[in-house]
Amino acid sequence: MQPMFQLNKPIQKIIMHVNNTSTEKESLTKRKSALGIRLFFIYLICYAGFVVIGVFQYELLAVQVLGGLNLALAYGIGLIVFAVILGVIYNYYCTKYEDEVEAGQSNEEKEGGRV
């Protein structure tokens, strides 16, 4: 049974991060995991700041900071926007890593084809 629709290659490449061999998969998985962990800890530090303010200086969250928004709302919205930005950064670098591996494969194939 064929799928209802098929994505063309450029779109499929952006949406799906596919690895072809186990060696590539292991290498890419390590790089992606390391990047994900770094981004997670960056976000964790920002979120921990919000929690610390909420626990120890909760009065500070009521202070108006931007256009009538209090610090709690501004910080919360900022965390959401920051999470989206980190997601875009993660996707960009994962795609870049996969393109590097793919370019290496195509170079190997070209060299392997010349005998």
pLDDT score recorded for residue 115? 46
Q: What pLDDT tens digit does each residue of the chain (115 aa) get? A: 555 556 555 555 555 555 556 776 788 889 999 999 999 999 999 999 999 999 999 999 999 998 899 999 999 999 999 999 999 999 999 999 988 888 877 776 676 655 4
Amino acid of residue 23: T
Q: What is the CA radius of gyration of the chain?
A: 22
What are the beta bridge partners of residue 64? 70
pLDDT score recorded for residue 66? 86
8 A C-beta contact, residue 60 and residue 53: yes
Amino acid of residue 40: F
